[in-house]
Amino acid sequence: MSADSRARRPGFGRLGLALVVAAVASLVILVPGASANFTLAKCQGSTADGRGASFQDDAQVSVFEPNFRTLPLWCGPTAPDITYDPAGSGAGRRALGERGSGNPQGLRDPNIRFGATDEGPNATQRSQMELGPTVNPDGTGGDLTPTDNGQLRVIPVAQGSIAIAVNFPNGCAVPNTSPQATDPGTAHIRFFAEGTAWENAFAGDPSVDRWGELLPTIVGTTKTTTQCQNVLVKRVVRCDSSGTTFEFKKWLAEANPARGWAALGNVVWPNDAGTTVTVRAAPPTCSAPFAGNGPQADKLKATDGGIAYLVLGDARDDAFFRSAGADDKYWVKVRNGDPSTTTGSLREPTKDQVVTDGTTKGADCELTFYNGVPGGGEPTLGDWSGATADRSTGPYPLCSLTYMLAFDDNADVYGNTPAEEAEARTVFDYLTSAVHPSGQAKLKTKDYAKLPSVAPQNLRGLAAQAVTRINWATP
């Protein structure tokens, strides 16, 4: 990223026919620089702006854009600028026209040309973005401008882990003899997350609203054991519409389908009152610089007795790995497989299963299989809201896909002008480089995992095929 691009970038800082077999990959390998009807040559576009998932922040800034600026495959140091605003998945979809409380008319942001989300859009959200603004400001009256309708691609670009992290109550510990102990022989024993008990805790269920109910073997070290047993479990949650929240709630719903997680709004939590009140990262309002995974991790560090769900990179950035025996801020192991059972294996969110240092190791997601991937000849035009790894029996179970959103033809959506073509050309080139093996190979360095590219699920090939569909001024 150029110095100019960094200066202008808002919030610069941290961050089903699911079987697309390997044989298909040979048919969809993206040719670097394919023209796709553009009159402009590769790398001859102009600055393009994106907005969306904070989960993608490090991937955009530290992986995809540097790869875009390499030679000989891509554009080199003179590449057009890419700016990215990590305002959250909801903000990314709203920028392209999704309706809701923040954008009831479905207006598209005139400056944003690609979105990013960890929450795959459902059919309604896709339709809203494809149709654009409604006649009336309250979202009624039908399509205001049918001439600006466009076909939207939901393109997976990476995957990552969601870590369940804790700020263990001060003066307390899990004893070495506890059935929940996973680090025997150290001064402060780490433990693991069973789906049902932790679903109750994140739901603020009165049966598990104290640490003694979540971990019955908790004892005092400087506090009394009774005091430790009575420490309230504080849920540190996102204040903004978040794809990370969306994916984490899928895991909670698998552990307890009867809770009604699917019917809750993105920022809504059960029992959000009284002693079970949640702690949000940005009271009393939610806006930059408070929205995102980074502020949530910061809030957890400041909340003794807190639990949270953090993107692996942010968890590591805020030292929620295990650095020493007495460290009481860390992520916990999670049992894979069906979270409503006690079968399966305990897994760390990091690829090599080592948590005793802060070295970037990548997410334990490379072998993840996603259920609910849309089928058909053009899966990236389908409904990705049901894609989930929650019952994965191989790697870490809390893995999540993250997506870029782009229209097939920006001439239809934003107007057929030379300036618009220059932005669209850059979006095409940038997406091409991001899903190419050269971009995917670098994701591990920032605690992501590359898309699977072999049988039984070739999502990288599927993403590359989708990018070839992006055109300019097509009939």
Q: What is the dihedral of CA 37, 43, 47, 53, to 10 degrees?
A: 80
What is the distance between the alpha carbons of residues 166 and 214, in angstroms, rounded to a whole number? 12
pLDDT > 60? residue 288: no
Which pLDDT tens digit goes with each residue over 403-422? 999 999 999 999 999 999 99
pLDDT at 2 over 50: no
Burial 327-359 (b: 16+ CB within 10 A, else e): bbbbbbbbbbbbbeeeebeebbbbbeeebeeee
Q: CA dihedral defined by 376, 382, 388, 392, rounded to 10 degrees?
A: 10
Least confident of 13-17, 30-34, 192-196, 264-268: 13-17
Instruction: With cut-offs at 50, 70 and 90, classify the pLDDT of residue 5.
Output: very low
**Distance from the first to the final alpha carbon of the chain:** 35
Q: Please tell me which of 97-111, 330-344, 348-362 the model is most confident about, judged by mean pLDDT.
A: 97-111
Q: Which fold has domain 3-160+368-391+399-468?
A: D-Maltodextrin-Binding Protein; domain 2 (3.40.190)
Element (H or E) spanning 333, and its range? strand 333-335
Identify the band that residue 259 occupies on the pLDDT scale cut at 50, 70 and 90.
very high
278: left (phi over 0), alpha (psi -120 to 50) or beta: beta
- pLDDT recorded at residue 112: 98
Q: Is the peptide bond before 374 cis (omega within 30 degrees of 0)?
A: no
Using CA atoms, how far apart are residues 308 and 292, in angstroms rounded to an integer? 13
> Would you place residue 21 in the very low, low, confident or very high pLDDT band (cuts 50, 70, 90)?
very low
Q: Give the tens place of pLDDT for each residue, 182-233.
A: 888 887 888 998 888 999 999 999 999 999 999 999 999 999 999 999 999 9
Q: Encoding tokens for residue 287?
A: 């806006």
CA dist., res. 178 & res. 188, Å (int): 12
Give the integer Cα–Cα distance in Å for 434 and 395: 24
- From residue 390, give the alpha-carbon distance in Å to each of 92, 135, 258: 24, 40, 16
Q: Are 463 and 435 in contact (CB under 8 A)?
A: yes
pLDDT score of 91 more than 80: yes
| Whole-angstrom distance, CA of residue 315 vs CA of residue 317 | 6
Q: Provide the pLDDT confidence category of residue 46 given band limits of 50, 70 and 90.
A: very high
Buried b (16+ CB within 10 A) or exposed e, 33-58: beebebebebbebbbbbbbbbbbbbb
- pLDDT at res. 283: 55
What is the C-alpha separation between 453 and 461, in angstroms, rounded? 6
Question: Residue 105, CB half-sphere, CA atoms under 13 Å: how many?
Answer: 10
Backbone angles phi, psi at 122, to 5 degrees: -85, 180
CA distance 311 to 350: 11
pLDDT reported for residue 475: 66
- At residue 290 the predicted structure's pLDDT band, cuts being 50, 70 and 90, is low
Structure tokens at 108: 């598209």
275 has a pLDDT exceeding 90: no
* Mean pLDDT for the stretch of residues 161-166: 95
CA 250 to the chain's CA centroid:
13
Task: Please state, in angstroms and rounded to a whole number, the distance separating the CA atoms of residues 227 and 462.
Answer: 54
CA distance 307 to 334: 14
CA 33 to CA 44: how far, in whole Å? 11
d(CA 74, CA 102): 37
> Which letter, b or e, does each residue of 126-159 get, where b requires 16 or more Cβ atoms within 10 Å of its Cβ?
bbbbbbbbbeeeeeeeeebeeebebbbbbbbbbb
Give the dihedral of Cα atoms 417, 419, 424, 425; nearest 10 deg. Answer: 110
Higher per-residue confidence, 82 vs 275: 82
Q: Where in the chain is the domain with CATH 3.40.190.10?
A: 3-160+368-391+399-468, 161-347
Give the pLDDT score at 282: 65
For 142: left if phi > 0, alpha if psi spans -120 to 50, otherwise beta; the answer is: left
As a whole number of angstroms, the distance between CA 73 and CA 32 comes to 7
Which of 242, 243, 262 has the alpha carbon at shortest distance from 252? 262
Cα separation, 121 vs 387, in Å, equals 10
pLDDT of residue 14 exceeding 80: no
Of the pLDDT bands very low, low, confident and very high (cuts 50, 70, 90), residue 56 is very high
Mean of pLDDT over the chain? 87
Is residue 284 over pLDDT 60?
Answer: no
30, pLDDT greater than 50? no
- Amino acid 107 reads L
- Whose CA is closest to 115, among 104, 126, 100, 123? 126
Q: Which CATH superfamily is domain 161-347 in?
A: Periplasmic binding protein-like II (3.40.190.10)
